Chains A and B, each alone.
Chain A
Amino acid sequence: MVTKQLSAISYKLSGKKATIIKKQRSAISSQPSGKKTKIINLPLTKKDVLGLKVGDVVLINGLIVTGRDKIHQFLFYEKPSKKDIPFDLSGTILFHCGPIIKKTDDGYTMISAGPTTSIRVDMYESKIISDYGIRGIIGKGGMGENTLKAMKKNGCVYLHTIGGAAAYLADKIKRVIDVWKLEEFGMPEAMWLLEVEGFPAIVTMDAHGKSLHKEIEKESHKILQRLLKM
């Protein structure tokens, strides 16, 4: 199942055949060394996603795509069909990121790549999750109630990574494989297809409707009321 979906990723733009690591292993496994750390091997199924809970520390392996403001707006309003998108988005992770990438003679080199604030694309995300079969969102800051509902309904998780740690995270990106909409949207806003290895994140919104952000917000507001004596 895993292999089949991986190989389904096509490269219409460049036409080049990328070598994809095909690994016959379960999509999620526990790391023997770290008690709490789980390993995610992409792509994911709904069942895999249901195995992830708020608070899980994960390391991600496989192919992911980036997308921020413009990609979200485009997918939401223009509704391109799956065959019009050069990458297979089903079962993969959408990374809210506008990276710094340098063009080299034989492709691209990743320089710096951390998460961007996810809440900005909140109004588009629930539709994108359900239309394109996204199983995970990597970002920072968390997302709202509608996205949380869509995650529960469709089987998707929010993977909070470390905002600002862009050199560290760039080193977890092993390859820049391809890009879509580079000319039209520019480097930060294009959709980049990346291969990651050991990319760290924490599950802060799960497919069971739980959100760490909601809990912390509730608690901090209680403290605020006390501080303001209201």
Chain B
Amino acid sequence: MLKLRDGIVELYRKVATSLPPDVEEAIKAAHAVEKKGSNAKRALQIILENIRLARETVRPLCQDTGVPVFYVKNPIGISQMELEKTIIEATRIATERIPLRPNAVDIITEKNSGDNTGIGFPVLYFKETQGSTLTIDLMMKGAGCENIGQTYKLPYEELKANRDLEGVRRCVLDAVCKVQGKGCPPYILGIGIGATKDQVTRLSKEQLMRKIQDVNEISSISDIEKRLLKEINSLGIGPLGFGGKTTALGVKIGVNHRHPASYFVDISVSCWANRRGRLIW
């Protein structure tokens, strides 16, 4: 699996040093609408310049190269254990070569492993698929925005949030207002709704893999995604919290069935540097 290992190293390089075109386009559009001479416009200008510089000089566009999160779709018959080994080996090589910032810290000894590998690090999700194509999606998730994610349990009296999509809307607006500019806006928000805590956090993070222009196939969810984006951008928090028209670039919601007694809403936040990429093998 030597070639695959090198392919994953290159995937790391691409994801760490260049932003997906849809995100860059959304930032350009945001830059165009911010007021001339404003701090918001100045900040987006520097962000765009940074994206160009990082790509051209092949350097990580953010020094926090984050927690690597892999979503692997493997054809029947390909060993997940072998894939896991290969990904871990590629992570070590990528950390040294690109270089990435070593981010894996031992809970007991507080020692940084130095190579971005450790217990549950990187994060790996596998799913078996039909056909012969191996698909490896990688998100490099910065910690600043990871820290501001939140989980709500409905109903929530303080917000007058019931167990319905209106309740979800109230939670999302509250969450953004609470965190203000602390996680590098403009944000991309991933929201997961469902029965269990672990399921909704995973679902909300998966939403961050969707392209900015991606439209939800469930029309009532698609409507609320659009409405929330508009409302979040009316809050005035703006790029990096400097004030302005662009607090979010996208809102993406995923739903699972829930238990009659449970209604969990989880919000995963990505900073503007929504680093994701795909390797098809």
Tell me which residues across on chain B come within 8 A of A126, comparing CB atoms. Answer: none
Quick check: is A213 within 8 A (CB to CB) of the other chain?
yes
Per DSSP, are chain B's interface residues mostly helix, strand or loop, or mixed? loop
Quick check: is B223 within 8 A (CB to CB) of the other chain?
no
Min CB distance A12 to B, Å, is 24
Contact residues, A60-112 vs B (CB, 8 A): 97-100, 102, 111-112
Contact residues, A113-130 vs B (CB, 8 A): 113-114, 116-117, 119-120
Interface string of A187-228 (1 = CB under 8 A from B): 111000000000010101000000011001101110110011
Tell me which residues across on chain A come within 8 A of B241, comparing CB atoms. Answer: 141-142, 160, 213, 216
Chain B interface residue number, banded: 35 or more
Contact residues, B142-195 vs A (CB, 8 A): 142, 144, 147, 159-160, 170, 173-174, 177, 180-184
**Judging by beta carbons under 8 Å apart, are B64 and A98 in contact?**
yes
Which B-chain residue is minimally distant from A219 (CB atoms)? Answer: B236
Partner of A162, one of B43, B54, B63, B183: B43
Tell me which residues across on chain B come within 8 A of A38, comparing CB atoms. Answer: none
Among B234, B238, B242, find the residue whose CB has the most chain A CB atoms closer than 10 A. Answer: B242
Quick check: is B80 within 8 A (CB to CB) of the other chain?
no
With A117-B147, A165-B47, A165-B50 as contacts: A112 and B112 at CB distance below 8 Å: no
**Judging by beta carbons under 8 Å apart, are A100 and B101 in contact?**
yes
Report the Cα distance A120→B63, complex, angstroms: 17
Quick check: is A131 within 8 A (CB to CB) of the other chain?
no
Quick check: is A8 within 8 A (CB to CB) of the other chain?
no
Tell me which residues across on chain B come within 8 A of A119, comparing CB atoms. Answer: 182
**Judging by beta carbons under 8 Å apart, are A168 and B53 in contact?**
yes
**Judging by beta carbons under 8 Å apart, are B240 and A167 in contact?**
no
Quick check: is A135 within 8 A (CB to CB) of the other chain?
no
Quick check: is B25 within 8 A (CB to CB) of the other chain?
no
Contact residues, B8-67 vs A (CB, 8 A): 39, 42-43, 46-47, 49-50, 53-54, 57, 59-65
Which A-chain residue is minimally distant from B16 (CB atoms)? Answer: A112
Report the Cα distance A204→B99, complex, angstroms: 32
Partner of B180, one of A55, A165, A171, A216: A216
Quick check: is B231 within 8 A (CB to CB) of the other chain?
yes
Min CB distance B240 to A, Å, is 6
Quick check: is A186 within 8 A (CB to CB) of the other chain?
yes
With A141-B183, A165-B46 as contacts: A186 and B240 at CB distance below 8 Å: no
Min CB distance A61 to B, Å, is 18
Taking A100-B60, A112-B59, A221-B177 as given, write out 19 further A-B residue pairs in contact, using a Cβ cutoff of 8 Å, ordered by the A residue number: A57-B39, A111-B59, A112-B61, A112-B63, A113-B63, A114-B62, A114-B63, A120-B147, A141-B240, A142-B182, A162-B46, A163-B62, A166-B61, A166-B62, A216-B181, A216-B242, A220-B235, A220-B236, A224-B235
Name B residues whose Cβ lies closer than 8 Å to a Cβ of A: 39, 42-43, 46-47, 49-50, 53-54, 57, 59-65, 99-103, 105, 111-112, 114, 142, 144, 147, 159-160, 170, 173-174, 177, 180-184, 231, 234-238, 240-243, 271-273
